[in-house]
Amino acid sequence: MIIAVDFDGTIVEHEYPKIGRPIPFAIETLLQLKKDRHQLILWTVRDGDLLQEAVDYCEKKGLTFYAANKNYPEEDVTTASRKLNADLFIDDRNLGGLPDWGVIYHAIQSMERGETSFEKLMMSAGPVQTNRRKRNFLIRLGEMFER
């Protein structure tokens, strides 16, 4: 699969434009997905020097992406569509927030085996619990209604 991965809030905690603390198991899971022969693309709001900082951060951890903010390395971003051709997007701004990286990995494995869809897996996992400072708006909204 071609998997697009966000940086801030997904690989590291939100500290934009700085690089935040690493999110546990993000790099390790992405390295395993590469070993499993998935093509990873870094897909982030970062651009220019800030994008290069993110790429360098990941490379220092041993993680290289097929491309960054492009469908393929040689793509001309001045003429190409901003739409990315990916099978899956991993992003903390997903509906429901960012699941634990273990859940993400097992969901991808289950999808590859044709056992279930990602949507069914995420729905069966229940609400995303996170100890990160920024929680998903829908989770916070749901908590308000539970009171």
pLDDT on residue 80: 85
Lowest mean pLDDT among 4-13, 27-36, 76-85, 128-137: 128-137
Q: Across residues 30-58, what is the average pLDDT? A: 97
- CA dist 34 and 14 (Å) reads 24
pLDDT on residue 96: 77
The model's pTM: 0.79
Q: Which domains does the chain have, with CATH numbers?
A: 2-146 (3.40.50.1000)
- CA dist 73 and 89 (Å) reads 18
Q: Across residues 93-99, what is the average pLDDT? A: 84
Q: Across residues 33-51, what is the average pLDDT? A: 97
Query: For residue 69, what pLDDT band results from cuts at 50, 70 and 90?
Result: very high
CB 111 within 8 A of CB 38: no
pLDDT on residue 77: 84
What does the pLDDT look like over 4-28, one tens digit per residue? Answer: 999 999 999 999 999 999 999 999 9
Q: Across residues 89-103, what is the average pLDDT? A: 89
- Please check the confidence at residue 134 and state whether its pLDDT lies above 70: no
- Please check the confidence at residue 126 and state whether its pLDDT lies above 70: no
CB atoms within 10 A of CB 114: 7
- Please check the confidence at residue 133 and state whether its pLDDT lies above 60: no
